[in-house]
A and B are shown apart, each in its own frame.
Chain A
Amino acid sequence: MTRIDAKFADLKAANKKAFVAYVMAGDPDFDTSLELVKGLPAAGVDVIELGLPFTDPMADGPTIQLAGQRALEAGMTLQRTLDLARAFREEDNTTPIVLMGYYNPIYSRGVETFLKDAKDAGIDGLIVVDLPPEEDSELCIPAQEAGLNFIRLATPTTDDKRLPRVLQNTSGFVYYVSITGITGAAEAEATNVGPEVARIKASTDLPVIVGFGINTPEKAKGIASVADGAVVGSAIVSQIGAGKPVGEVLSFVKSLSDGAHSA
């Protein structure tokens, strides 16, 4: 059982929805980013999605693209991202960390080495945007064997015929992408998302968390009420991009988590 599985078991026992926050590792620099990540659990974050910076984030909108550029310019690498996770783990051994990014930095390091290092650093799960089920042998299956969850994205284009394939090797939770589009773009509507979440839940016992297009406490509440939880990324990252101090960003995160937890 990973920290992710344990966290969702706890939330379920408490009849509580999950709040998941995404931040880019090393944005705007290593120390600020670490301070922010360390503050997330106290701001009500149940699961941390830690962005792995990449030069070519094809599924991300401008907010997350720029965050990745800031991090890379400040010297962030895959190794430094794992260092950041390890530093967080020195103080917190229960909040799950999901590493979210693109395949090339991982492939470049070597899958086997990466999985060992990620596990050692206290990473619990992976979301790799450009690895669909068709490429499961690349990283998904080795990751599960190494004891890491591999969390899959399901989207509005994932029809009933395809859904079983998407769910097949997924573990931890299912991340439902509420819109066809990139991060930080259109706004998610709970009325559209509810039936989709129900459709996925009919085929899996895993928690279904919804992300993309959630940017206010009200939206977080609305989405969390029709799913097992909500993810906010771009709205948080844009505050970092605007140069807000860590304390202010964490207050915003707290308002979002309160929203999701009130669902």
Chain B
Amino acid sequence: MAEDLFNSFMNGPDEQGRFGIFGGRFVSETLMPLILSLEEEYDRAKDDPTFWAEMDDLWKHYVGRPSPLYFAERLTNHLGGAKIYLKRDELNHTGAHKVNNVLGQILLARRMGKTRIIAETGAGQHGVATATVCAKFGLKCVVYMGAHDVKRQAPNVFRMRLLGAEVIPVTSGRGTLKDAMNDALRDWVTNVHDTFYCIGTVAGPHPYPAMVRDFQSIIGKEVRWQLAEQEGEGRLPDTVIAAIGGGSNAMGLFYPFLDDKSVNIIGVEAGGKGVDEKMQHCASLTGGRPGVLHGNRTYLLQDDDGQILEGFSISAGLDYPGIGPEHAWLHDIGRAEYVSITDREALEAFQLSCAMEGIIPALEPSHALAHVMKIAPDLPKDHIIVMNMCGRGDKDIFTVARHLGFDMSDTEEGRDTD
């Protein structure tokens, strides 16, 4: 037993907030006391049954958990190999996995007496989830969003505004997700007394990567019992697959399986136009190297001078130049495999999901599905793949239409989206 514990992959991070060399607390002194008090508060909440009782209640009645684990039969037959299950987190309230984590952080913010919530968002899913939960609890909400993303994700911008959030288009730097995170950090450092920063992914200074992972782990925990229910007691997936930008939906699916050595773990990064194309992608692990940004050490897209590069992806939810530190560690120790999928492959998977299963996926999980399409045909029929369908595609139909050459400019919805 002692040996098992020693060998566990689930003990991270250490007290410095490190997963191996990754993670840490690389923030300015102004934020440090707050980061420490957040860690204390989270440690208390984690061991407090009333905190989890409140989470469970909200997950069930507000979010609609558990999300179904769905056997994708036609897709399975079409690909002709492994048995494919989709974890339907796109059916959550707000249409993605993001709300799992937001609920946890907002409950913590309330415990800490913070009245103003800030968030960064790329595709807008985390922003919508944060605006939603803030509306539910009557908290002031400010969302930072890259100016470019504000344009390409107009429906989500409007949703956030309907939900009462203030959406601030970020034009500093290049006006992308990483710049939105910079501006959120600048806001936080300025309003540290009343403001809680609700980070949307498993990145940032400790304790965020661990905390967000813990909140998202509900995904993998449900998969464990749901698969056992459908495939028999004790049956684990043979492969779990999820898309990765920062990596929160993936960490949520992977974490409960880290110590099950029979389970292959695959993370799918956004390959944009191809990882060989110089910086036309955002595959931090396959195309980056370790560095320090936004409070943690992790793999980053950067030039020889340590200047951060912009990612490129068809999916606004994936174009972040970094990745959660726990993924960086799992990559280095070889516990998980990380691959990349191009925009073109993701678009094909997007269409296949629509045609075969009647599910319009977000572009983010379309990347994961594209990798399923690559590997499933060569796997035996009793091999079970569980893929996280982490978001629905309503927000992406305009982008996809443009790439497929479908003209929506005459429709009401299409008029002002680009």
Contacts and interface: CB of A to CB of B under 8 A. Distances in A.
B291 A58 contact: no
A132 B307 contact: no
Given A59-B186, A65-B173, A182-B186, A108 B291 contact: yes
B29 A62 contact: no
B308 A132 contact: no
B19 to A, nearest CB: 15
Contact of A107 (B27, B172, B292, B308): B292
B230 interface: no
Interface in A59-90: 59-62, 65, 69, 72, 77-79
B11 interface: no
A54 interface: yes
A154 B305 contact: no
Nearest to A175: B29
A154 B172 contact: no
A72 B305 CA distance: 10
Interface stretch (A156-164, A199-207, A234-242): A156-164
A152 B294 contact: no
A226 interface: no
B16 A104 contact: no
B184 to A, nearest CB: 9
B302 A104 contact: yes
B29 A158 contact: yes
A155 B34 CA distance: 12
A159 B33 contact: yes
B351 interface: no
Contacts of A118: none
A194 interface: no
Contact of A180 (B178, B193, B304, B305): B193
Nearest to A212: B30
B170 to A, nearest CB: 11
Interface string B290-309: 01111101001010111110
A112 interface: no
Interface in B184-212: 185-186, 189-193
Q: Name which of B31, B32, B191, B295 has the most chain A CB atoms within 10 A of its CB.
A: B32
A117 interface: no
Given A104-B306, A156-B30, A182-B190, 16 more contacts: A54-B307, A55-B307, A56-B293, A56-B308, A58-B182, A59-B189, A62-B172, A104-B300, A107-B306, A133-B32, A153-B28, A157-B31, A180-B189, A180-B193, A181-B30, A185-B190
Interface of A: 53-62, 65, 69, 72, 77-79, 102-109, 129-135, 152-159, 162, 166, 177, 180-182, 185
